[in-house]
Amino acid sequence: MNLTISGHHLELTPAIREYVQGKLERIKRHFDQVIDIAVILSVDNLPEKEKRQKAEVTLRVKGKDLHVESIADNLYAAIDTLIDKLDRQVIKYKTKQQDHQNDAIKRLPDESDAVAP
């Protein structure tokens, strides 16, 4: 699994990097077939509002890309809500995968169902 953490208009400190990696462990615990994770953390300086912190992640799994973004006043709060949203999407994807695998099993005809000529 490849993990890429980048920052736009902010300096990534080791504390932020470790915080994101620690939170992503929860995702890996639920679903271990993750191919690639790209995290982008950014700060938007808007004149009419306060600084807005934005966190977004693109998680690649087999057959699908999951994209989630979160905006908050605090970067750590944005990361927390981002991980919560991503966790819900991963669980939803995982249950869909499990349901589809069960649908593939066809009912085999019993010997009593076969009509003898």
Phi, psi of 67 (to 5 degrees): -120, 130
Domain membership flag for residue 105: no
Domain membership flag for residue 60: yes
Domain membership flag for residue 116: no
pLDDT attached to residue 12: 92
Mean pLDDT per segment of 10 residues, for the chain of length 117 residues?
90 93 88 88 77 90 90 92 93 83 56 57
Q: In the chain, how many domains are there?
A: 1
Domain of residue 57 covers: 2-100
Pairing of strands 34-44, 2-8: parallel
Domain membership flag for residue 117: no
Domain membership flag for residue 115: no
Nearest to 34 by CA among 84, 76, 93: 93
pLDDT attached to residue 95: 87
User: Which CATH number do you get for residue 7?
Assistant: 3.30.160.100
pLDDT attached to residue 61: 87
Domain membership flag for residue 106: no
Query: Cβ(67)–Cβ(55) under 8 Å?
Result: no
Domain membership flag for residue 113: no
Task: Give Cα 76 to chain centroid, integer Å.
Answer: 17
Task: Give Cα 45 to chain centroid, integer Å.
Answer: 27
DSSP secondary structure, 50-107, as one string: --EEEEEEEEEETTEEEEEEEEESSHHHHHHHHHHHHHHHHHHHHHHHHHHHHHTPPP
pLDDT attached to residue 7: 93
Query: Cβ(52)–Cβ(69) under 8 Å?
Result: no
- CA 80 to CA 23: how far, in whole Å? 8
Domain membership flag for residue 112: no
